[in-house]
Amino acid sequence: MHRSISLGSCLTAAVSLLAGPVGVAQTMSFFLTSEGLGSGADLGGLEGADAHCQALADAAGFGDRTWAAYLSTQGNDPVHARHRIGEGPWHNAEGVLIALDVDRLHEVDVNINHASAIDENGIRIPYAHLDEEGNTLSPELEEIPAEHDILTGSREDGTAFPAGEDRTCSNWTSSDEGSAMLGHHDRRTLQPGVFSSWNSSHPSAGCSQPELVRTGGSGLFYCFATD
């Protein structure tokens, strides 16, 4: 799902958030994984995804915190991504404020974009670039393929999809059949003036690594410190 947002409001919100403390004054509590598990959307379930977040955070020097993947699951006992990531606030590896709390995390103007949704080492993930007129470049014109499709399995409010049509690749255990709901970490689409959701943009073409890459991603997901 895409939302039309004025560029001015997004820039105003971003400037306001970026004006906060930057650097070691804030401890990292949010990052985008620098790499996936290499097995498509089969993450070993929520447990495997959380362990991946924890391992990457540990390697980056933030293993003293408890980390959880921003992922939902479907079924008779669904898990909602928004309920498993703590209460906030969250800052990235550069100390930039992402959101103060869960409700603000799921507002349209949340500070998640190509510059703020960085990995645990403070490195930007390949994103969709803009041309001279401010329109998103088509994939064939990109020098480096964008990896802006991020696994979430969630609706825009951070809740799980109802049971039925697969939006979580069998609750993150399939690298074959099924599909996963994806967000765009750069908030960019091929529709001029239309911003995409960071957590619920469109479903993947499939659950295998090649299908995730073909859709525009590489099996990455968001990690949040819960404490």
Residue 168 sits in a domain whose CATH number is: 3.10.100.10
Q: How far apart are CA 120 and CA 103, in angstroms?
A: 23
- pLDDT at residue 95 tops 70: yes
Lowest mean pLDDT among 83-87, 203-207, 211-215, 219-223: 211-215
Statement: residue 134 has pLDDT above 90 = no
Q: Domain for residue 16, yes or no?
A: no
Interacting residues of 16 by C-beta distance below 8 A, sequence separation 6+: none
Beta bridge partners of 201: none
Q: Write out the residue range of the structural domain in which residue 39 sits.
A: 21-126+145-225
Alpha carbon distance 120, 115 (integer Å): 13
Torsions phi, psi for 106 (to 5 deg): -105, 20
Quick one: pLDDT band at residue 19, thresholds 50, 70, 90?
Answer: very low
Question: pLDDT confidence of 17, banded at 50, 70, 90?
Answer: very low
Tally of domains within the chain: 1
Q: Using DSSP, how many helices (H) and how many strands (E) does the chain show?
A: 5, 10
């479907």: which residue's tokens?
A: 74
CA-based nearest residue to 186, from 12, 14, 9: 14
The residues facing 22 across adjacent strands are: none
